[in-house]
Amino acid sequence: MELDRNRALKRIREEYREIESNPSDDFMCGQLEREEFQFQWQFAVRGAKGTEFEGGIYHGRVLFPGEYPSKPPSIIPLTENGRFKTHTEICLRRLDKWKPSCRVRDVLVDFIHSMPTSPDDEVCSLKCSKEERLALAIKSRAAATTYSPFDFERQKLIDQIHKYMLSKAPAVPFPSNGTGSGAVVYNVSNGTGGGAAVYNFSNGTGGNVIGNAFHATNSGAVVYNFSNGTGGGAAVYNFSNGTGGNVIGNAFHATNSDRVGILGSMNKAAVGILGSMNEAFIRGGGPLVTVWSILSTIFLLLLTVLQTL
């Protein structure tokens, strides 16, 4: 048994050094230094190009058995992805057909390629629409997966891996409905029971970009700067703080716009005013719902007028 363990550790270290010396843009692995973590890695992969997972960053764990490589490792996803269950050992073709000559690098590549495939009623799989998966891909970039609020060393490693993958994974491409009119809408739960996050993307014809996003850690707001691709429209964002109250903020996309000065100068004032209104809305509720709706409409009408000047 001890001989098997030593052989396994030798192979694990060998593979880890190989990945470090020959890094990939598609995945990254990390290992905690303490002895009790010698048989496990943290990893993150980026979603495959040309799929609804493109641009997403998906974290997970690799658990090695004491008989490795005679027996395969276990892959446990940590990031919501719409294809595999999280915190559960998953099934992959490479693992099912495992040979001692196989390596973790091969398994992670297989994991990436398996994400856009059909679940086929696998116990570890989920059946989600492409729209839901795309929304989760956007959400996955907002912040690194939180493993445990008390495991600071592991969380630091996860954050480091996430930062690296952000530098390698391009932003999630904004979809178009392909008709030149209307917006594409994606719904995904914020994971707290507090409603759905709706992402409305521009149709690429100069319309406004409207998005509603939830912070991955359920604390504070996260800003997504979506461009309509023409420089002619304003982008309006509504954020949830993940605790039941809405954090309302407006930001204006000024890049490539001939109204940069106007929109830029309005932005701080607009966010401040709406932020104050939001605090009152959360505390008071009731009649402010109607007031907020009226003021929001007036504000957007004024914005439209200013854009035409």
Q: What is the mean pLDDT of the segment spanning 188-207?
A: 43
| Residue 269 reports pLDDT greater than 70 | no
pLDDT value of residue 7 = 95
- Alpha-helix residue ranges (DSSP H) falling in the chain: 2-21, 93-96, 104-114, 130-142, 152-168, 260-284, 288-308
| Residue 303 reports pLDDT greater than 90 | no
d(C-alpha 95, C-alpha 56), whole Å: 23
Residue 238 CA neighbour count, 13 Å, CB half: 12
The model's pTM: 0.62
pLDDT value of residue 309 = 64
125 within 8 A of 42, measured Cβ to Cβ:
no
Q: Where exactly are the structural domains of the chain?
A: 2-168, 184-308
pLDDT value of residue 169 = 86
Q: What is the mean pLDDT of the segment spanning 54-66?
A: 97
| Residue 27 reports pLDDT greater than 60 | yes
State whether residue 61 is helix, strand or coil: strand
Q: Among the options 29, 91, 102, 128, which is catalytic?
A: 91
Give the range among 9-13, 134-138, 154-158, 304-308 with minimum mean pLDDT. Answer: 304-308
44 within 8 A of 168, measured Cβ to Cβ:
no
131 within 8 A of 186, measured Cβ to Cβ:
yes
Determine if residue 174 is left, alpha or beta; phi over 0 gives left, psi from -120 to 50 gives alpha, anything else beta.
beta
Give the range among 30-44, 48-62, 125-139, 290-304 with minimum mean pLDDT. Answer: 290-304
Of the two residues 3 and 270, the one the predictor is more confident about is 3
Active site includes 91?
yes
pLDDT value of residue 4 = 86
d(C-alpha 231, C-alpha 229), whole Å: 6
State whether residue 213 is helix, strand or coil: strand
CATH no. of 2-168: 3.10.110.10
61-103 pLDDT per residue, tens: 999 999 999 999 999 999 999 999 999 999 999 999 999 999 9
pLDDT value of residue 28 = 98
d(C-alpha 227, C-alpha 172), whole Å: 12
